[in-house]
Amino acid sequence: MSIVIVGGNEGMVRQYKDLCKEYSCKVKVYPKSNGGIKDIGCPDLLVLFTNTVSHKMVRCALNDAKGKNLKIARCHTSSLVALRNILDEHVNS
């Protein structure tokens, strides 16, 4: 399963990737917008950490996801526990 994470803490990118690796998932993490998100590709799951990301970046990610068959998970907190809960819900189902 492939996952794109938008938002989150820059210092936790390695932990996000390690946790996704435990679930046998490939992951791309965009913790902040350096010129916006160009192309998220076609992941199976899009995770939006809404507390740590700008409205513009959320709109860019959602516009890029429009018309693609992917799941979108929004979460206010950007902790590892929150990501683990999202992965439990979407990966193991």
pLDDT value at position 88?
Answer: 94
Mean pLDDT, contiguous 10-residue spans, the chain (93 residues): 91 95 93 71 90 85 86 93 94 75
pLDDT value at position 57?
Answer: 86
**27-35 long-range CB contacts below 8 Å, 24 or more apart?**
27/2, 27/3, 28/2, 28/3, 28/4, 29/4, 29/5, 30/4, 30/5, 30/6, 30/57, 30/61, 31/7, 32/57, 33/57, 33/60
